[in-house]
Chains A and B, each alone.
Chain A
Amino acid sequence: MNTANRYTSFVKQFFLSYGCSIVNDHHSHFTIQLTCEMDEEIMNRPFYWHYMKKMNREGAPMQLTFTDTEQKKNGGIYLHAGTPKLHTLYNTAIQKGRTARLYEVVREISGRNKAMSPWLIVNALLHYRGKKAKDEPISIGINLIHGTMMLGMMDKIQNIDFETKVSDYTFPMSPVISLTSAYKRMERHIETYVSSLDNEWAIDSLHHLEKEKKLLESFYESEDIDLESFTKEREQIDNRYKPYIEMEVINGGLFYISQDTSAQWIYH
């Protein structure tokens, strides 16, 4: 799948999931009818909606046309990595999809009740910051009954059906491990993981930091700069070079997963 299509399917999926409809769908070109809620959320026209509400009127939500080609002839918002509207959608998606409690859909015909294990699943970004910067996505799951930890969790559950209601003939088990302690284990895991990495980038940053600090100190000693700018500059050098990793959780939730399903991960 090329990148343009990745954006297209994300955009369509996004709007469909939040109750909007596709009114026109051509090859490389489609139009979305927004709902009032979505219009208010992403179109950035607060005055219009404020006015409509005040007048007790319904308001007309807008339509948006997207395209995955640069050709301007049909108009529409060209979808590429930098499209501002796309970034609005990212932020809206992240904000709306931050937490969940979901149950695996199980079609049980034997009539016997099936136990569903609780998992804490967390998706996060590790922001590597120093002289240079990058991110690493990470997805961890911990079984809250026996503490098994799994990595690459999102990939594993991507194609499983989940619902917000528990399926018939299944029952969710109560967690033995609390969310907080499971989360702490994840943090510890990240520490171990990070220290196992080749951290050349951090060493390089530290090296640079020391070099700049020494240089600055020598300027101060030879009275080329005064104390005030020394202190300020010292802080700014830290800002620029000091290496650290910031963990930012994107989303996470409590997932109830059948043992048949999780058994496949553990034994494969």
Chain B
Amino acid sequence: MLEIRPDHSFIQTLQENLDHPDKLATWDGFKLAHQAAQFKTVPKFEGLLSLDHLPHVNFMEHQVEAAETVVHQMNGRAILADEVGLGKTLEAGLILKEYMVRGRAKKILILTPASLVNQWIQELNEKFYIQAASPRKKQASWKEWDVTVTSIDMAKRENHREEILSIDYDLIIIDEAHKLKNHKTKNYQFVQSLKKTYCLLLTATPIQNKLSDLFNLVSILKPGYLGNLTDFKKKYQKNAEEEDNIQHIHSLVGHLMIRNRRKDTGLDSSKRKVVNELLSFTEEETAMYQKLEALKANHPSFTWLTLAKELCSSREACYMSLKQLKKNAPEEKAKVYDEYIEAIGQLPHHVKAKKMAELIEKTEEKFIIFTEYRATQFYLQWYLQQHGITSVPFNGKFNKSKRDWMKQLFQNKAQVMVATEAGGEGINLQFCHHMINYDLPWNPMRLEQRIGRIHRFGQEHDVKIYNFAVKDTIEDHIMKMLYEKIEMFKNAVGDLDHILEQIPGGSFDQQIQSILKQSDSQGEVDIKLSNLVSYVEHTVNERRESS
């Protein structure tokens, strides 16, 4: 027998109000209430009703499909694992809105890195007409707020924790969920103990290193679904190579995970054009670069690599490191650096800076420029200003409101944004479609993240990317050794990021870092790097053959 939950309060209210005519409605008022309720009615089980509520947002096909699948097939518990820039947030928002429209979700908690809290609140408000609150340090009313956006760190604080854990949430959304891969952390345990009906986990890299990471994400959605961790490890860890096992897990997880890839979606309609600009140092710069080589003899290879790479970026960046070296050196040796510091002061403007200004002056278009060094960032801003070009700085250490402010300034006033690496995450700049990678990070995939800031859902133009490198230097070397090869692999297989994250003994990024730190000579660095690249190549080929 189907349970019917009656409305007990109404008839009593009516009886009371009949004694107080001022509380009674007119015929017009009565009809209006009835009509309002008709408008609010959810007429059918199927489909996405929220789309009618959001005519101002152009959702892409894969986003609508994802939302439908999560609501109607996965029944509201899922991992959204689209590649970066395909609009996972929009998918999550659409699902959230659908559950609200259908009256299934009222209490909602969104956990996101602190730097993204404002962005979430803004998007929910502008795109989804959802008013969300975010707690300050002391002031929070978890019970009253229907939709709350906050960071896990804030939520698990002593004064909030108990209250949050006592609430029955209808829907919990966890952004950047790959950070929860370790089940021993406090964050994981906190999330695991939340009370939730529906739950969405958002991540761009569902499988970073180990299958057990995936296990832990699935366990948040469906405890027990993949067995317990010990058995899971026993069964799969040893035989992780066996295709059958992997297939099995993938088919299990398939019921819980949505992963759209860039190539399967219409996103490639806005294309990216990558131009590698190989520039030549001036004579003075070449001399300086060669001079630095003398340092190789009595310094760890890492020191020279750093300085050389910095010189390829700006005099200023290199100068800062030299000063630091001098400061840290014992007094009698400190003098060694003076001649370098002296020489660097004599250098003319950097060849890259000139090229940069040339490119920007040619057009009215907006540019975002990425550099790895703060010193370069300052220099470039000054240099641009000298050329009458307006620019704003950006870096990951800015607090939320400063980030937002800089983004607005860039959008409305300035032509250029000069960002450091730390500014790579958590800012969307679809209104800009020119990027200069002023210096090259070791890890080519880092470039991918940068590009993802502008080449993402919502970009209507083709995106043009300039990679600057100086000929016959360490940068040239990085370009040939890593970038061009990796770029080739990328064309061969779609999910290169996946492969790069799965290298035994740590991700590609970690590998590069340890190669740089642990090698004694540049020769050693080269050999190790080329081994690493060969390994990736090998995996790529294997993948191609098996598919």
| A220 interfacial contact with B, CB 8 Å | yes
How far, in whole Å, are A98 and B25 apart by their CA atoms in the complex? 7
Q: Is the CB of B197 within 8 A of A239?
A: yes
Q: Is the CB of A101 within 8 A of B21?
A: yes
| A223 interfacial contact with B, CB 8 Å | yes
How far, in whole Å, are A240 and B52 apart by their CA atoms in the complex? 25
How far, in whole Å, are A254 and B75 apart by their CA atoms in the complex? 42
How far, in whole Å, are A80 and B56 apart by their CA atoms in the complex? 10
Task: Report chain B residues within 8 Å CB of A180.
Answer: 11, 15
Of the residues B17, B50, B72, B231, contact of A99 by C-beta under 8 Å: B17
**In chain B between 196 and 243, which residues have their CB closer than 8 angstroms to a CB of chain A?**
196-198, 223-225, 227-228, 231
Q: Is the CB of A240 within 8 A of B198?
A: yes
Task: Report chain B residues within 8 Å CB of A220.
Answer: 224
| A23 interfacial contact with B, CB 8 Å | no
| B38 interfacial contact with A, CB 8 Å | yes
Task: Report chain A residues within 8 Å CB of B21.
Answer: 101, 164
Q: Is the CB of B7 within 8 A of A89?
A: no
In the complex, which of the residues B40, B43, B44 has the most CB atoms of chain A within 10 Å of its own CB atom? B40
Contact with A along B11-27 (1 / 0, CB 8 A): 10111011001011111
In the complex, which of the residues B5, B7, B75 has the most CB atoms of chain A within 10 Å of its own CB atom? B7
| A137 interfacial contact with B, CB 8 Å | yes
CB distance from B63 to the nearest CB of A (A): 17
- Number of residues from B at the complex interface, CB < 8 A: 64
Task: Report chain B residues within 8 Å CB of A98.
Answer: 13, 17, 25, 33
Q: A10-B36, A99-B18 are in contact. Are A251 and B30 (CB under 8 A)?
A: yes
Q: A123-B37, A133-B42 are in contact. Are A236 and B197 (CB under 8 A)?
A: yes
Q: A216-B224, A240-B198 are in contact. Are A70 and B55 (CB under 8 A)?
A: yes
| B195 interfacial contact with A, CB 8 Å | yes
Q: Is the CB of B103 within 8 A of A252?
A: no
Q: Is the CB of A17 within 8 A of B29?
A: yes
Question: Main secondary structure on chain A at its contact with chain B?
Answer: mixed
Q: Is the CB of A135 within 8 A of B36?
A: no
Contact with A along B102-134 (1 / 0, CB 8 A): 111000000000000000000000000100000
| A253 interfacial contact with B, CB 8 Å | yes
Interface residues of A toward B: which range? 35 or more
Residues of B that sit less than 8 Å from A by CB:
1-7, 10-11, 13-15, 17-18, 21, 23-46, 50, 52-56, 72, 75-76, 102-104, 129, 168, 192, 195-198, 223-225, 227-228, 231
Residues of A that sit less than 8 Å from B by CB:
6-7, 10, 13-14, 17-18, 70, 78, 80-84, 86-87, 89-91, 93-102, 122-125, 127-129, 131-137, 139, 154, 158, 161-164, 179-180, 183, 187, 190-191, 194-195, 199, 201-202, 208, 215-216, 219-220, 222-225, 229, 232-233, 236, 239-254
* 17 A–B pairs (Cβ distance < 8 Å), ordered by A: A80-B53, A80-B55, A91-B36, A97-B29, A97-B32, A97-B33, A125-B37, A133-B104, A179-B14, A180-B15, A183-B10, A224-B228, A229-B192, A241-B75, A250-B34, A251-B30, A253-B14
**With A10-B36, A82-B53, A90-B37 given, can you name 19 additional A-B contacts, CB distance below 8 Å?**
A10-B39, A17-B32, A82-B52, A91-B36, A93-B32, A97-B29, A99-B18, A133-B103, A134-B43, A135-B43, A187-B6, A195-B2, A202-B2, A219-B223, A229-B192, A247-B5, A250-B37, A254-B14, A254-B18
